[in-house]
Amino acid sequence: MVKMIQYPDYHDSLVCPGCLQKGSLSNGFFICLTCNRKFKIIDGVPIFVNSSEEYIDKRGNTNPTNPYPQKVIDLAVNNPDALILDFGAGCPRKEHMFNNILRLDYEQYYNTHVVSTNRNLPFKSESFDHIVSLSVFEHVKDPWHYAQECYRVLKHGGTIIVDTAFLQPEHSMPYHFYNMTLEGLKETFKMFKIIDLGVEPYQSAGTTMNLLSNTFISIIEDGQKKAELEKILKQTDFANYDKYISRNDKSKMAAGVYLRGIKE
């Protein structure tokens, strides 16, 4: 098993996700000093789950999930002394395991810092200089609450980068709940001052068409009809047509949308 290196300063930010009060790290547990709830620590990682059935162990999986886009890489590289929360980090590539990014996920990968399935984020208010959350908010039951939680744990003057699904097929089931339009994303994060809002190249209308085409083919059960459909749809990479879409129309059928905001 690959052993991860812990970011040295984040333990001071941990709180009980139930009452949001301080706890102590002792004898393999995080113990809340107010409500006495106990949470296991596994390989140095606090596991904030409500039952053993909620814990998902993926420490043996070293295959990376979604790569960081350039805007997140730039944020980490240009702010080496900042503490950045990756909310829903998955398993980043080894070259993207920046020491100033704290990786939170509901599953424990070999490079996860904190595991939580709780409604509240297990961090004290104003703990982080910046927050990123990529392809996560379509998978949470209450995105409005988690947006407010991101606001709570972000320092004043800190920034948040979010991207999430719009016109994408179901994925990572059974935990795919909400897709968002650009206006939906803006409304969900309205507590932030919005700096930038839009569609990234990897969230384009052509990407939408490719995703939908591939999913449509995959759910056809009749072999002959599947082959007919593949012949029709596989001839075209729809992303080649993105350059013919005007800037104002990019969000109309985007695969995803993004927002960058600041906590004033």
Q: Convert the pLDDT of each residue in 129-160 to its tens digit.
A: 999 999 999 999 999 999 999 999 999 999 99
User: What one-character-per-residue DSSP string does 187-248 give?
Assistant: HHTTTSEEEEEE--GGG-HHHHHHHHHHHHHHH---HHHHHHHHHHHTT--GGGGGGGS-GG
Cα–Cα–Cα angle for 186, 191, 196, rounded to 5 degrees: 45
Structure confidence by residue, pLDDT tens digits, 112-131: 999 999 999 999 999 999 99
Over residues 202-207, mean pLDDT: 98
Average pLDDT over residues 229-236: 94
Instruction: Check residue 9 and give its pLDDT.
Output: 67
pLDDT one-digit tens code per residue, 237-247: 999 999 999 99
Long-range contact pairs involving 185-189 (C-beta distance under 8 Å, separation at least 24): 185/257, 185/258, 185/259, 186/259, 188/137, 188/143, 188/144, 188/147, 189/147, 189/160, 189/162, 189/259, 189/261
pLDDT in tens, 50-65: 999 999 999 999 899 9
Q: Which helix (H) or strand (E) holds 75?
A: helix 70-78
Mean pLDDT score, 1-5: 40
Distance (Å, rounded) from C-alpha 113 to C-alpha 132? 15
pTM (2 d.p.): 0.94
Q: What is the mean pLDDT of residues 205-214?
A: 98
pLDDT for the residue numbered 1: 37
